[in-house]
Amino acid sequence: MVGHAFMGRVHSQAWRSVGAFFDLPLAPRMAVLAGRSRERASAAAARLGWADVETDWRKLVERDDVQIVDICTPGDSHAEIAIAALEAGKHVICEKPLANTVAEAEAMVRAAASAPGRNMVAFNYRRVPAIALARRYVEEGRLGEIRHVRAQYLQDWIVDPHFPLVWRLRKDKAGSGALGDIGAHIIDTAEYVTGQRVVGVSALTETFVKERPLAEESAGLAATGSSATGTVTVDDAALFIGRLSGGALASFEATRFATGRKNALRIELNGSLGSLAFDFEAMNELWVSEGDSGFTRILVTEPGHPYAGAWWPPGHGLGYEHTFTHEIKDFLEAIAEDRDPAPSFADGLRVQRVLAAVERSAADASRYTAVEDAS
């Protein structure tokens, strides 16, 4: 694994626990963790369960005792690490968004096409049991023809203007702001649940707080800043509407300024026969409306529900971390069966193209129609 901050910790937890809950075709061994500071990486490795440490990811990628590389770094290093790992014959799982630009994502897909290893992009919310169940409903035709998709990802961790300029607020590190960090998740979730693709968008983005206190380079979501300030170079919020390939109209909202919303990834679908609704802040529930009864709650903890049977008795819900455990299980199964897992780098590239289209649309003032006499 490369990186040991928030994503490194949650992926480590998945690698550590997956074999205890699922019958796996391959038994993972947590061989080596790479981080720039030996002291910090060693402390993280000891805590998270990695046997060894490297301070240069290139050394990790060259090691014979490594067959899988898990990339948990900011977006600016995804392409370089993933391509080197694929060229070294490794299987690669990479955090989202796949890259910072479409060109980087294309290069990753090209490298994957000529490499023996398998590739996956870590859109973990596909592995929420309720989201996987929602897809099952759509696939079984229980909602009929999908007309509307309403997707939101709402967080509030940078509402405070004194919250520092962490890497997620810098275009050079993260590629974009709320758009790529959390908007990418709802694009993938909408495509996954509906089985349709986003084919066109019209967008607005905004950066509400333009200057923030500078932070240490490695600062994460709970950072403190200094008295010097720097410019925020990404969006704080992105709103866009779009058409899906099967004819549905979709709206998307990704923001880190939804005061009071902590991790509200929500999706609602309206079809000709029924609807469904999900909110990650109540992640064990799926709300379904079939016929004209209005919405009823399904508690997605039954043994027949996706992934749920491997865990606890009905009603004993799952959490954020389980979605990563499910992702690693699915990845290992795909490797063992010699097929590409979903979502693959190609799926990550498709999302990257939607992100780029949103940015192009938002930057194009001619697509915004001002209201006459409104100032």
**CB-nearer residue toward ligand SOE: 290 or 321:** 321
Cβ-contact 189, 126 below 8 angstroms = yes
**CB-nearer residue toward ligand SOE: 55 or 207:** 207
Among 12, 101, 155, 301, binds ligand SOE (CB under 6 A): 155
Point out the residue whose Cβ comes nearest to ligand SOE: 181
Q: How far is the CB of 348 from ligand SOE (least distance, A)?
A: 13
Residue numbers 66-95 binding ligand SOE by CB under 6 A: none
Q: ∠219-220-222 over CA atoms, to 5°?
A: 105
Q: What is the spatial distance between Cα 75 and Cα 200, in angstroms, rounded to a whole number?
A: 24
Give the x/- contact pattern for ligand SOE in 237-266, rule: CB under 6 A.
Answer: --------------------------x---
**CB-nearer residue toward ligand SOE: 288 or 326:** 326
Contacts of residue 9, Cβ cutoff 8 Å, sequence gap at least 6: 44, 48
Q: How far is the CB of 81 from ligand SOE (least distance, A)?
A: 18
Tell me the three state secondary structure of residue 94: strand
Q: How far is the CB of 362 from ligand SOE (least distance, A)?
A: 19
**CB-nearer residue toward ligand SOE: 181 or 191:** 181
Q: How far is the CB of 178 from ligand SOE (least distance, A)?
A: 8
Give the x/- contact pattern for ligand SOE in 6-45, rule: CB under 6 A.
Answer: x---------------------------------------
Q: What is the spatial distance between Cα 321 and Cα 341, in angstroms, rounded to a whole number?
A: 20
**CB-nearer residue toward ligand SOE: 90 or 185:** 185
Which residue is listed with tokens 């780029």? Answer: 356
Q: How far is the CB of 302 from ligand SOE (least distance, A)?
A: 25
Size of the site for ligand SOE (CB under 6 A): 5
Helix pair 184-194, 129-139: axis angle to 10 deg: 40
Dmax over CA atoms of the chain, in Å, equals 68
**CB-nearer residue toward ligand SOE: 178 or 248:** 178
Q: How far is the CB of 155 from ligand SOE (least distance, A)?
A: 6
| Tokens found for residue 156 | 């509030």
**CB-nearer residue toward ligand SOE: 111 or 173:** 173
Q: How far is the CB of 209 from ligand SOE (least distance, A)?
A: 16
Q: Identify how many contiguous H helices and E strands the chain contains and give both numbers.
A: 11, 15
Q: How far is the CB of 283 from ligand SOE (least distance, A)?
A: 12
| Tokens found for residue 145 | 């023809």
Q: How far is the CB of 96 from ligand SOE (least distance, A)?
A: 6
**CB-nearer residue toward ligand SOE: 155 or 289:** 155
Cβ-contact 275, 295 below 8 angstroms = yes
With binding defined as CB under 6 A, does residue 182 bind ligand SOE? yes
**CB-nearer residue toward ligand SOE: 181 or 347:** 181
Q: What is the spatial distance between Cα 175 and Cα 261, in angstroms, rounded to a whole number?
A: 24
Where does residue 260 rank: exposed (0-12), middle (13-18), buried (19+ CB within 10 A)? exposed
Q: Could you write out the DSSP letters of every residue in 250-285?
A: EEEEEES--TT-SSEEEEEEEESSEEEEEEGGGTTE
Cβ-contact 328, 11 below 8 angstroms = yes
Which residue is listed with tokens 């967008």? Answer: 203
Give the x/- contact pattern for ligand SOE in 263-292, rule: CB under 6 A.
Answer: x-----------------------------
Beta-strand relationship, 91-94 and 119-121: parallel
- Name the CA radius of gyration of the chain, rounded: 21
Q: What is the spatial distance between Cα 114 and Cα 70, in angstroms, rounded to a whole number?
A: 19
**CB-nearer residue toward ligand SOE: 130 or 288:** 130
Tell me the three state secondary structure of residue 231: strand
Q: How far is the CB of 232 from ligand SOE (least distance, A)?
A: 15
Q: Which residues bind ligand SOE (CB under 6 A)?
A: 6, 155, 181-182, 263
